[in-house]
Amino acid sequence: MTLLPRSLFAFAAVALIAGVTVAQTPPRPTVPRPVVPEAPVPPPPDVEGKSWVLMDYTTGQILASKEPDMQVEPASITKVMTDYVVSAEVANGKVHMTDPVNISENAWRGGGAGTDGSTSFLKLNSQVPLKDLLYGMIIQSGNDAAIALAEHTAGSEPAFANLMNAYAKQLGMEHSQFQNASGYPVANHFTTARDIAILSRALIHDFPEDYAISAVKEFEWNGIKQHNRNLLLWRDQTVDGIKTGHTAAAGYCLAASAKQGDARMIAIVMGAGSEKGRADAALALLNYGFRFYETHKLYEANKPLATPKLWKGAENTIALGVAEDAMVSVKRGDYDKLKANLDIPATLIAPFKKGQQVGTLRVTLDGQPVITAPLVALADAPEGGFFSRLWDTIMLWFHSDGDKDKK
C-alpha cells in the first residue's frame, strides 16, 4: 500500500468532508489538420523579362529559365563582374582594401555613364579608400566608383575590361563580353541571364565578405545618403543581394539571391518593364525554387563508391569515389526516381595516382542526365612486385579469354 503524504492526505480528507470535487485539467484536444493531397509540381511562374534564370546555388543547376542564353545589355548588372574582378585582385594581393584611389576626371564624369543618374558623388582629384568605392559601387550603383576602381586595379578602364573578360572565360561565362566597368551601353558589351547566374554564384562562394556588401540597405558618402536600389531587401528578409541595373535599352534588370535554412537560390531577371516588375519577377522565381525543389547529397567526397579488381598492383583492389560531394537539386517527390550508374573499365591495370580519373559517375532522372562526375582513385595504387605482376599477366590471359567467351 502506498502512503500519501500527510499534507495531501489531510487535503483529500477535508475535500471529501466538504463535498468538494478536485478537478483535473483534461489534455488539450488535437487540432485536426487537412490532408495535403499529392500533386505534381507546377510549372515555373510566367514572370516579366526578356530572359530569366532560376539557379540552385549549391549545385549550380538551372531549375527554370526563359531564353537563358539570349545576349542582352546588362546595364549596371555589369558591376557584379567589376566587383568580382576587384575582389579577386585584392585576394591575389594586387590591390588592397585600404588603398587610396585617385578620382580621375574620367571617373568623376562617369566615363559618359552619368546619363542614368548612378553616381556616388565623388570629388574630382580626391582620394577615396578602395573599400568605400566598393560600397559606393555596389549599394549606390555609382558609375564613378566603378570606373575609379577599374583604373586603380588595371591602370585604365580598357585594360580592366580585358581582365573582366579573362575572369569571365575562367568562370565559364561563354556568352558574355565586357567593354567597360560600369555597364554604360556601348557596342559589343553584352551578357546572358545564365552567365550572370554563374557569376553571381561564384561571387557568393569565392568572396562572401564582399558579397555581404550587397545586403547593406544604405550608404552615405560626401554627405549624401543613398539607398540600395534592390527593393527585395525591404520586402523579404531572406534576400541578401545582389545588384540592380537599368538603361533605356536594357530595361530593368535584377540579380537576386536569398537563403532559407541551408538552401540558397539565385534569380536573374533581364529586361523587365519596371522597377517593381523586376522585383516581383525575381521574388516569384525565388519562392518557386524554395517551395518546389530540394537539394540532396547523393555521395560524399572521398568515400569509396566501388572497389573493383586491380591487376598488377601492390593491392588487389582500388577504391574509387568522387573528389567533390555529388549534390543534386530535384523537384519535390522526384528523389526516389534518380538512377545512378558507375562507368568503370572492365580491366584496371596499375599504376594509378590519387585523384586520377578512372571512370565516370552518371546520375539520371527519367532518362535525362542530372550529374556527370569523374570517378577517381582515392589513393595511390602503385604497381606490385615482379612476381605479382608476372602472375597477373598470366591470369589476364585467362581473364581476357573468358571475356571473349561471354561475347
What's the pLDDT tens digit per position in 161-190? 999 999 999 999 999 999 999 999 999 999
**404 assigned ligand-binding residue:** no
For residue 25, the SS3 value is: coil
Give me the active site residues, please.
76, 79, 141
For residue 342, the SS3 value is: strand
Least Cα distance to 63 among 290, 218, 352 occurs for: 290
What's the pLDDT tens digit per position in 256-286? 999 999 999 999 999 999 999 999 999 999 9
CA distances to 1, 70, 213 from 266, rounded to whole Å, are 69, 18, 17
**Domain spans of the chain?**
51-292, 300-406
Q: Read off the pLDDT of each residue in 90-112 and give the average, rounded to a whole number.
A: 92
How would CATH label the architecture of 51-292? 3-Layer(aba) Sandwich (3.40)
- Which CATH superfamily does the domain covering 300-406 fall into? D-Ala-D-Ala carboxypeptidase, C-terminal domain (2.60.410.10)
Q: Are 203 and 84 in contact (CB under 8 A)?
A: yes
In the numeric block, the cell 540579380 is attached to 255
Give residue 318's Cα distance to chain centre.
Answer: 33
Rounded Cα gap, residues 334 and 87, in angstroms: 39
Give residue 141's Cα distance to chain centre.
Answer: 22
β-sheet bridge partners, residue 297: 327
In the numeric block, the cell 541551408 is attached to 262
Cell (9 digits) for 310: 586491380
pLDDT at 312 over 90: yes
What is the widest separation between alpha-carbon atoms in the chain?
102
Q: What is the pLDDT of residue 110?
A: 83
DSSP 79-123: HHHHHHHHHHHHHTTSS-TT-EEE--HHHHTGGGTGGG-----PP
pLDDT at 101 over 60: yes
Q: What is the pTM assigned to this prediction?
A: 0.83
